[in-house]
């Protein structure tokens, strides 16, 4: 349903641009061309997003970026009207945030990792969630479903969610090998 909404929004934007282009000489601006480009970009972004989800492991949030372009076009259109300066500035805030969301999604997708070195196991599966556990503190571990559970020395526990990992089986085997190499038993 979201895909249909994006297509309808793109078609409305393109039809509005078409009207502006054919309304006569009064519309001498480049705004209709930006509307056309934003509508086409939104349609292409939906197609790229669908293909990315099927084939690629990493990508950009194309729909968010196309939405940002459309919002920039609308903000530029508002500058032609008579408004207070603060209102005009506020029109550009949402598209800036959409661009940031698109970039942050790319960064989140590309910066995910599990790393093992001589001292610790480190994981980053989300933008702000980083985990680091020293090998010497881990007494045992278990991988059950979508969670890595570690029992720590002194009775503590540390859990790392694996629900966002696409190749969970391969990661589970790698983790078992890392723990076995350091003599840490699976419970």
CATH 2.30.29 is the classification of domain 113-186: yes
pLDDT tens for each residue of 47-85: 877 776 665 554 556 666 777 777 787 788 778 778 788
53-87 core/surface letters (b: 16 or more CB in 10 A; e: else): eeeeeebbbbbbbbbbbbbbbbbbbeeeeeeeeee
Distance separating alpha carbons of residues 59 and 163, to the nearest angstrom: 19
pLDDT tens for each residue of 41-56: 878 877 877 776 665 5
Dihedrals φ, ψ of 51, to 5°?
-65, -40
| Residue 94 tokens, joined | 């949402």
Distance separating alpha carbons of residues 106 and 63, to the nearest angstrom: 13
DSSP string, 9-49: HHHHHHHHHHHHHTS-TT--SSHHHHHHHHHHHHHHHHHHH
- The mean pLDDT value for 87-100 works out to 81
What are the residue ranges spanned by the domains of the chain? 2-110, 113-186
pLDDT tens for each residue of 118-142: 999 998 876 667 889 999 999 999 9
Residue 151: left (phi > 0), alpha (psi -120 to 50), or beta? beta
Partnered with residue 151 across adjacent β-strands are 140, 157
Mean pLDDT over the full length of the chain: 79
pTM: 0.48
Helices (H) and strands (E) in the chain, counts: 6, 7
Q: State how far Cα 79 lies from the chain centre.
A: 30
């Amino acid at each position: 349903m979201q895909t249909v909404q994006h297509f309808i929004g793109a078609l409305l934007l393109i039809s509005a641009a078409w009207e502006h282009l054919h309304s006569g000489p009064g519309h001498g601006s480049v705004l209709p061309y930006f509307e056309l480009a934003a509508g086409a970009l939104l349609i292409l972004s939906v197609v790229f997003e669908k293909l990315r989800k099927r084939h690629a492991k990493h990508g950009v949030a194309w729909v968010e970026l196309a939405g940002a372009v459309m919002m920039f076009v609308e903000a530029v259109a508002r500058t032609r009207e008579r408004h207070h300066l603060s209102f005009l500035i506020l029109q550009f805030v949402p598209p800036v945030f959409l661009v940031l969301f698109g970039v942050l999604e790319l960064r989140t997708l590309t910066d995910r990792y599990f790393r093992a070195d001589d001292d610790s196991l480190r994981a980053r599966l989300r933008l702000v969630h980083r985990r680091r556990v020293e090998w010497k503190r881990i007494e045992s571990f278990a991988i059950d479903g979508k969670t890595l559970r570690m029992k720590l020395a002194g009775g503590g526990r540390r859990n790392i969610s694996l629900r966002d990992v696409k190749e969970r089986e391969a990661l589970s085997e790698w983790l078992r090998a890392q723990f076995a190499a350091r003599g840490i038993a699976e419970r």
